Amino acid sequence: MSVNKAILVGNLGKDPEVRFTGTGKAVCKFPIATSTTWNDADGARQERTEWHNIIVWGKQGETCGKFLSKGRQVYVEGEIRSRSYDDKDGNKRYITEIVAQSVRFLGGKGGGEGRATGGDPGFPEEPAMGMGGGGAAATDDDDIPF
């Protein structure tokens, strides 16, 4: 048995880009930044930011393209994938991406405040998106009929 799962909470570094395959399936790409802070040996505060390339397919990708923008905080859960490609100069490049299975919109633009599915007055109430990208809201214990 093996596990390939990444869970990230970070802020979009730029607006999402949505494109469509030849068969009409949406693919959304955007980078998110995660930061770690610590105190070094001299007691000075240090910070390191990691950038992650996120890929979201299908209806979930369309929804991300519609509601997300630069600075928005998101929770992303997905699979880590590495691939190679040839750039425009013919050089082989390698990239690591997170293929999202679940994306949740957090807080408002650039901040972590607010509810997990909205909280920014500039955005309508958004769905919590799970595997399959159907856009169904997550079930709360109060919604279970027993």
CATH number at residue 72: 2.40.50.140
CA distance 122 to 98: 27
pTM of the predicted structure, to 2 decimals = 0.72
Range scoring the smallest mean pLDDT among 4-8, 17-21, 100-104, 115-119: 115-119
**pLDDT, tens digit (0-9, with 9 covering 90-100), for 74-127:** 999 999 999 999 999 999 999 999 999 999 999 765 544 333 333 333 333 333
3-state secondary structure of 82: strand
Give yes or no for a contact between 28 and 18, defined as CB atoms under 8 angstroms apart: yes
DSSP state of 140: P
> What is the extent of the structural domain holding 59?
6-35+47-138
Range scoring the smallest mean pLDDT among 7-21, 71-85, 126-140: 126-140
Residue 79 lies in a domain: yes
Number of domains in the chain: 1
Q: Where are the beta strands (DSSP E) in the chain?
A: 6-12, 17-20, 26-39, 45-57, 72-86, 92-109
CA distance 109 to 112: 8
